[in-house]
């Protein structure tokens, strides 16, 4: 642990009122135990990130030290650029830059420590997956941070990030999203802070998140960030990498595969296995539409970050309202398999045929025979379980599921969809609708009689 040796000094070229501390290399060495690998919390193309404590005045702060590799592509210009950017920008969804060290050819950035690491880690490497509501909140937080950059609120100019990706979205102790890594960022003209300014620059970014228009024209605009954010949205939904060569060739690119799923109306294929069955169908449809628009090939068709923030806020409210409604009403959450309805009866009067009154009522209503399993244990008491199997017509199932409406979808699967509904007697049912190309899977469904 160390303390600043003198008064905090701001980077000389900055005009911001925010203080950016200039730390000595000795202070950094002390805080990181001479860059001990034991305190490394991250590695990237530009260098390692260390966790440590450093004193500013009388207060000790837990921070992250990003030590740029002298051989990395991120040189002195981008190092200075990040310092200038983050010293001028302050927002609850942007990572806070505390200070820097530019000493003895070392280039080190000192950030507020983010205890929950990167979004990339939690989507692809963590043992405990993020739930759907967490993912929506992270998407909304990151969108708000990016909207702040684009609109120039508080900065009098707009900023294009140019490297939006899941590994550059950090998560604080409350799981709030924080946009980081501003080394590639560009500032737009102050006179056009609320318009679609564009800048001619060399192409830089991360493969998989790179806007094709930017790649071909070398013109970077706000919509360049919108495209990359759309990739992150699909990444949040699917839990898949932006580029993954483990899949067949047509699925290497997340964007191309996701676009095809949306066009073919096979949204169920996009949903991460870890959150299937928890995504409200209406929410899924609208979310996929937002992400799809973000990666549109035509720039004018892409929404602004302000639009995206508003849309994600509504989707979060819709999902939470649905979840609360389901919980308060005691709504059954169906699993991936179709379960038969079992009617247990204990200590009820039986008629002469051995059937209980409630059982007989159901038999009469459905006009079907029943199979009864008897258990004479438990001190002579009898538990009778009746299992009924009825053949429904297609029209009956349409009525039961509101014409297989999207608001009735409980589960998306590669083989089928499961819809909730109720039969003409008002009993709850789950209807598994197999896809046209999965007749064999239908034949393999087993029913215990």
pLDDT digits (tens, 9 = 90+) for 170-198: 999 999 999 998 878 887 654 443 345 55
pLDDT digits (tens, 9 = 90+) for 61-103: 899 999 987 765 557 777 888 888 787 788 899 998 899 998 8
Q: Give me the CATH code for the 342-443 domain, please.
A: 3.30.200
55, β-bridge pairs: 3, 60
Residue 199 pLDDT: 58
Laid out side by side, the sheet with 106-112 consists of 21-22, 97-103, 106-112, 59-68, 47-56, 40-44
CA distance to 8, 75, 127, per residue, from 21 (Å): 5, 20, 37
For 280, phi then psi, to 5°, come to: -60, 135
Cα pseudo-dihedral 29, 35, 40, 46, rounded to 10 = 100
* Cβ proximity of 202 and 186 under 8 Å: no
Beta carbons within 8 Å of 238's beta carbon, 6+ residues apart: 254, 258, 270, 271, 272
Residue (of 281, 266, 414, 389) closest to 336 by Cα position: 414
Is it the case that residue 316 has pLDDT exceeding 90?
yes
147 carries an active-site annotation: no
Candidate list 120, 147, 163, 181, residue with the active-site label:
163
Q: Which CATH class is domain 119-328?
A: mainly alpha
Q: 418: pLDDT confidence band, cut at 50, 70 and 90?
A: confident
| Residue located via tokens 């409200």 | 280
Do 21-112 and 342-443 share a fold?
yes
Span 393-418, average pLDDT: 75
Is it the case that residue 440 has pLDDT exceeding 70?
no
94, β-bridge pairs: 179
CA distance to 210, 267, 274, 282, 323, per residue, from 318 (Å): 31, 18, 20, 8, 9
Q: How far is CA 201 from the centre of its chain?
A: 30
* Cβ proximity of 218 and 201 under 8 Å: yes
Residue 342 pLDDT: 36
Residue (of 323, 345, 359, 138) closest to 235 by Cα position: 138
Residue 33 pLDDT: 93
User: What's the whole-number average pLDDT of the chain?
Assistant: 78
Beta carbons within 8 Å of 376's beta carbon, 6+ residues apart: 382
Residue 336 pLDDT: 37
Span 214-242, average pLDDT: 93
CA distance to 222, 243, 287, per residue, from 257 (Å): 24, 10, 16
Note if the pTM is more than 0.85: no
The 8-class DSSP code of residue 263 comes to: H
Of 7-16, 50-59, 354-363, minimum mean pLDDT range: 7-16
DSSP 3-state of 443: helix
Q: Which CATH class is domain 21-112?
A: alpha beta
DSSP 3-state of 347: coil
Q: In 10 A of CB 301, how many CB atoms?
A: 12
Beta carbons within 8 Å of 174's beta carbon, 6+ residues apart: none
For 347, phi then psi, to 5°, come to: 55, 40
Kindly calculate the radius of gyration of the chain based on its CA atoms and give it in whole angstroms. Answer: 29
Residue (of 277, 295, 134, 289) closest to 209 by Cα position: 295
b/e sequence 50-64, b meaning 16+ C-beta within 10 Å: bbbebebeeeebebb
Dihedral of alpha carbons 305, 308, 313, 314, sign: positive
Span 287-312, average pLDDT: 96
Residue 406 pLDDT: 65
Of 27-36, 82-91, 301-310, minimum mean pLDDT range: 82-91
| Residue located via tokens 């260390």 | 50
**Where do the structural domains in the chain lie, given as residue ranges?**
21-112, 119-328, 342-443
Q: 255: pLDDT confidence band, cut at 50, 70 and 90?
A: very high
Residue 27 pLDDT: 93
Of 144-158, 162-176, 383-397, minimum mean pLDDT range: 383-397
């Amino acid at each position: 642990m160390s303390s600043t040796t003198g008064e905090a000094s701001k980077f000389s070229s900055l005009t911001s009122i925010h203080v950016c501390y200039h730390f000595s290399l000795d202070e950094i060495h002390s805080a990181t135990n001479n860059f001990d690998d034991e305190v490394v919390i991250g590695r990237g193309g530009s260098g390692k990130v260390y966790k440590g404590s450093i004193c500013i005045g009388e207060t000790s702060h837990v921070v992250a030290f990003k030590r740029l590799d002298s051989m990395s592509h991120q040189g002195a210009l981008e190092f200075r650029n990040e310092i200038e950017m983050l010293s001028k920008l302050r927002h609850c969804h942007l990572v806070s830059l505390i200070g820097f060290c530019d000493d003895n050819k070392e280039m080190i950035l000192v950030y507020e420590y983010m205890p929950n690491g990167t979004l990339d880690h939690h989507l692809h490497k963590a043992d405990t997956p993020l739930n759907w509501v967490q993912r929506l909140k992270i998407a909304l937080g990151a969108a708000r941070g990016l909207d702040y950059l684009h609109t120039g609120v508080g900065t009098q100019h707009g900023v294009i990030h140019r490297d939006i990706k899941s590994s550059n979205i950090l998560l604080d102790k409350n799981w709030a999203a924080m946009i980081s890594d501003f080394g590639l960022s560009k500032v737009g003209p102050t006179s056009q802070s609320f318009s679609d300014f564009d800048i001619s620059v060399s192409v830089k970014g991360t493969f998989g998140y790179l806007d094709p228009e930017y790649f071909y024209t070398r013109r970077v605009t706000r919509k360049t960030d919108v495209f990359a954010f759309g990739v992150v949205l699909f990444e949040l939904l699917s839990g898949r990498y932006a580029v993954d060569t483990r899949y067949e060739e047509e699925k290497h690119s997340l964007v191309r595969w996701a676009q095809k799923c949306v066009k073919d109306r096979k949204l169920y294929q996009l949903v991460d296995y870890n959150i299937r069955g928890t995504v409200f169908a209406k929410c899924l449809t609208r979310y996929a539409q937002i992400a799809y628009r973000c990666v549109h090939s035509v720039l004018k068709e892409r929404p602004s970050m302000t639009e995206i923030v508003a849309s994600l806020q509504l989707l979060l409210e819709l999902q939470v309202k649905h979840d609360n409604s389901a919980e308060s009403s005691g709504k059954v959450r169906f699993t991936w398999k179709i379960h038969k309805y079992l009617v247990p009866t204990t200590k009820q009067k039986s008629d002469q045929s051995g059937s209980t009154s409630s059982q007989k009522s159901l038999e009469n209503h459905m006009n079907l025979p029943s199979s009864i399993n008897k258990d004479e244990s438990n001190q002579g008491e009898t538990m009778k379980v009746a299992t009924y199997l009825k053949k429904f017509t297609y029209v009956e199932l349409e009525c039961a599921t509101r014409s297989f409406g999207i608001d009735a979808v409980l589960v998306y699967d590669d083989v089928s969809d499961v819809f909730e509904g109720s039969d003409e007697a008002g009993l709850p049912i789950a209807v598994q609708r197999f896809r046209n190309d999965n007749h064999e899977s239908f034949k393999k469904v087993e029913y215990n009689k």
